[in-house]
């Protein structure tokens, strides 16, 4: 039954995020030094995203750009991305602070990625059934992330990504979550050359 899945999912979210969060604290001083040595700017950014049932949530990330993206699509070789930020993004280290968002309950480890409110407004108008992705908690990684090499940069690409999100919502299960988690880990290890 679905309620058993949700209980298990929440338990795993808290259990895994707590220990991964503690381990990730070992990396924080190195990220702090790298960001500060490059441009002396702030270490973290806080962004508003759209969560479950369209509720606004605030997520934490290591700063990877010279400025906040202000709701603009990030493009290949984007001049706003710092050298340190480029590494943080490729390795997904920039998203480690979101483990605390998972513990708090705003997001899950697995689910559709939370979007910026500005984009959600556009997609709600231009893409049928877009709002259905907000029926469940967003996640750090998801079915769409393991099938898309880069974030969508147009309404058309977002339509394709939505198809993956809706597939996940319809077929979500413990086994599918485990499959996504394992494929995410494999992708991260391949990006870091391990």
The sign of the CA dihedral 158, 164, 166, 168 is negative
Question: What percent of the chain is predicted at pLDDT more than 90?
Answer: 73
Name the least confident of 30-39, 49-58, 63-72: 63-72
Q: Which pLDDT score, from 0 to 100, does residue 193 have?
A: 43
Phi, psi for residue 98 in degrees, rounded to 5: -70, -10
| List of residues 6+ apart from 114 with CB closer than 8 A | 49, 50, 51, 57, 59, 107, 138
Q: Which residue has the higher pLDDT, 67 or 124?
A: 124
Residues 173-188, mean pLDDT to the nearest whole number: 91
Tens digit of pLDDT for each residue in 129-142? 999 999 999 999 99
| C-alpha distances in Å from residue 98, one per residue of 14, 58, 112, 123, 146 | 12, 10, 14, 24, 18
Instruction: Determine the length of the chain.
Output: 194
Looking at the chain, the whole-number percentage of residues with pLDDT higher than 70 is 93
């Amino acid at each position: 039954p679905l309620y058993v899945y949700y209980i298990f999912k929440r338990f795993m979210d808290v259990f895994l995020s707590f220990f991964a969060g503690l381990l990730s604290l070992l990396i924080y001083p190195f990220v702090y030094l790298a960001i500060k040595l490059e441009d002396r700017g702030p270490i973290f950014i806080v962004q508003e995203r759209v969560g479950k049932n369209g509720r606004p949530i605030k997520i934490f990330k290591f700063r990877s750009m010279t400025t906040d993206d202000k709701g603009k699509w990030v493009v290949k070789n984007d001049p706003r991305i710092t050298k340190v930020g480029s590494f943080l993004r490729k390795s997904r280290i920039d998203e480690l602070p979101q483990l605390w968002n998972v513990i708090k309950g705003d997001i899950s480890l697995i689910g559709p990625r939370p979007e910026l409110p500005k984009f959600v407004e556009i997609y709600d108008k231009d893409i049928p059934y877009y709002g259905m992705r907000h029926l469940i908690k967003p996640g750090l990684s998801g079915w769409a992330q393991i099938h898309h090499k880069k974030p969508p940069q147009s309404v058309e690409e977002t339509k394709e990504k939505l198809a993956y999100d809706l597939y996940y919502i319809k077929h979500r299960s413990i086994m599918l979550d485990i499959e996504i988690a394992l494929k995410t880990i494999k992708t991260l290890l391949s990006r870091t050359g391990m």
